[in-house]
Amino acid sequence: IIDNVTDIFKDKVTDEKVNSTINSIVHYLGGWNIQKVPYAVQIFYQSVYGEIFAKLAPEYKTDFTSRILESEPKWIEIDKKVKVGI
């Protein structure tokens, strides 16, 4: 998931690029309860988020963060009987 997001931002970020990809980024990064994943994954997630956030123009930062935080929670199905919110 995070690899898909980092691929989007390999090159210089422009307003047009942000406008066309912000929904995709929020789709990948939003909704995860990062506190429930291993510490190494938390660090990696935070570094990816931080790298993207740093590249955003100021006018996008508040909306981007709000959309990440307000995303529908994601669930991982471990088996047919157990779903874990992450």
Rounded mean pLDDT, 60-83: 79
Q: Is the dihedral of CA 78, 65, 14, 18 positive or negative?
A: positive
DSSP tag of 78 = E
Q: Is the dihedral of CA 34, 42, 49, 84 positive or negative?
A: negative
Span 38-68, pLDDT tens digits: 898 889 999 989 988 887 778 888 988 999 9
SS3 content of the chain, % helix, strand, coil (to 5): 65, 10, 25
Give how far the C-alpha of residue 76 lies from the chain's centroid of Cα atoms, to the nearest Å.
16
The answer, as to whether pTM is greater than 0.85, is no
pLDDT at residue 32 in the model: 87
Query: CA 1, 76, 9: angle at the middle one, nearest 5?
Result: 10
Mean of per-residue pLDDT scores for the chain: 77
